[in-house]
């Protein structure tokens, strides 16, 4: 914990933002993975306080998120947006609780580990009360890059993303539904959650534009990958696009290595990597697709082939459910890492 006290074997876990899309998924993942929580406390704004959320075959009453919410809490999973996470950081840490934050608020802070447990799980030991969940697109890319980087150092990555509407929240998913129905009825579409209509369209903007012409989402994929993989010399260039898909982000990656790595070798490396599943049989039209992978936990890889435009290049396609591995699942896995490491420290 932030004050040096180990996490108990059956910690009290709070979920801040429990009524949102990711918060609800966090509750689902906690239940599905039989996380050893002594108690689960759903938290949300005053508007949602008093409502209920399903957990463990029952309904939990949502409590209002306040500065005192963490007095008896060991781990707080946050999915409330960067400004709210910043607002409550001191309250969480001062209570001796560990915040696992899903927003971008603290990801690049030097004293905050940015963790994908299969890649850099040991980094949780360096926290000072806050651990950051990476950007959803970065998580699934790191899941694939890390084992390949161990096999042959990576020099450069070109990433093109095809990101689902749910990455922008529950309201964005509703907008995709409603706009699709309105489009088919021939009605006028009025964007609210996106800069342009999302139905039957692709929007090459996620988050705000920066001075160099890239978007903040694209910047996140660059800097977060370097931090997670402890590889500051890897060059990453990303183009992030919102597409009319409900769940699961897809990415096309072109990876340049320092040494030769054949598609077969890459396939074997990825097949052996924890949390990665290879779906790659062109003869059977087998490859990952978002429509069929909703609710799954792995990062799926296919279309693994040589890129002949560089000396040592591999091209591939990856899909993952960004509400699961890209957000809720990764956060819960970080909590599991905390509990596991605290247990080891106690035994030692």
Could you tell me the maximum CA-CA distance found in the chain, to the nearest angstrom?
Answer: 67
Residue 76 · residue 70 · CB < 8 Å? yes
What is the per-residue DSSP string for 257-324?
ESS---HHHHHHHHHTSTTEEE--BGGGTB---GGG-TT--SEEEEEEEEETTSTTEEEEEEEE-TTI
Q: From the candidates 97, 127, 149, 249, which is the catalytic residue?
A: 249
Residue 70 · residue 13 · CB < 8 Å? no
Residue 275 · residue 298 · CB < 8 Å? yes
Helix residue ranges per DSSP H, the chain: 21-32, 82-94, 117-120, 136-151, 170-184, 216-228, 263-271, 329-347
Distance of CA 25 to CAs 18, 43, 69, 204, 258, Å?
Answer: 9, 14, 21, 27, 39
**Residue 97 is a catalytic residue:** no
What are the strands of the beta sheet with 98-101, ordered from one edge? Answer: 63-64, 39-44, 12-16, 75-78, 98-101, 130-132
What residues pair up with 58 in beta bridges, in sequence order? Answer: 55
Backbone angles phi, psi at 31, to 5 degrees: -70, -45
**Residue 136 is a catalytic residue:** yes
63 secondary structure, DSSP code: E
Go through the chain and tell me how many residues it has. 348
Which residues are within 8 A (CB) of 268 and not within 5 positions of it... i.e. 6 or more apart?
Answer: none
Q: From the candidates 136, 149, 248, 312, which is the catalytic residue?
A: 136
Name residue, tokens 């898909």.
245
Backbone angles phi, psi at 260, to 5 degrees: -60, 140
Active site residues: 136, 249
């Amino acid at each position: 914990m932030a004050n040096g006290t180990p996490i108990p074997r059956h910690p009290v876990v709070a979920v801040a933002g429990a009524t949102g899309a990711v918060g609800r998924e966090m509750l689902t993942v906690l239940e599905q993975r039989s996380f050893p929580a002594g108690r689960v406390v759903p938290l949300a704004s005053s508007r949602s306080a008093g409502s209920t959320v399903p957990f463990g075959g029952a309904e939990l009453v949502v409590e209002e998120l306040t500065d005192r919410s963490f007095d008896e809490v060991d781990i707080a999973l946050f999915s409330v947006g960067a400004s709210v996470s910043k607002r409550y950081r001191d309250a969480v840490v001062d209570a001796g609780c560990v915040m696992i934050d899903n927003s971008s608020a603290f990801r690049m802070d030097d004293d905050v580990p940015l963790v994908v447990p299969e890649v850099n799980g040991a980094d949780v030991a360096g926290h000072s009360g806050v651990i950051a969940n990476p950007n959803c697109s970065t998580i699934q890319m790191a899941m694939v890059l890390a084992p390949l980087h161990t096999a042959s150092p990576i020099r450069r990555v070109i990433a093109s993303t095809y990101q689902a509407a749910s990455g922008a929240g529950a309201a964005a998913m509703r907008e995709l539904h409603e706009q699709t129905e309105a489009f088919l009825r021939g009605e006028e579409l009025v964007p609210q959650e996106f800069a342009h209509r999302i139905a039957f369209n692709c929007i090459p903007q996620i988050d705000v534009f920066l001075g160099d012409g890239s978007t903040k989402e694209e910047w996140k994929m660059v800097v977060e990958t370097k931090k997670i993989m402890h590889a500051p010399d890897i060059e990453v260039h990303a183009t992030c696009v919102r597409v009319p898909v409900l769940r699961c982000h897809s990415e096309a990656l072109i990876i340049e290595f320092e040494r030769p790595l054949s598609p077969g070798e890459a396939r074997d490396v990825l097949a052996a990597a924890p949390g990665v599943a290879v779906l790659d049989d062109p003869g059977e039209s087998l490859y990952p697709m978002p429509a069929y992978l909703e609710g799954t936990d792995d990062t799926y890889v296919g279309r693994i082939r040589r890129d002949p435009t560089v000396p040592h290049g591999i091209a591939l396609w990856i899909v993952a459910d960004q509400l699961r591995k890209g957000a809720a699942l990764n956060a819960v896995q970080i909590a599991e890492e905390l509990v596991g490491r605290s247990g080891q420290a106690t035994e030692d």
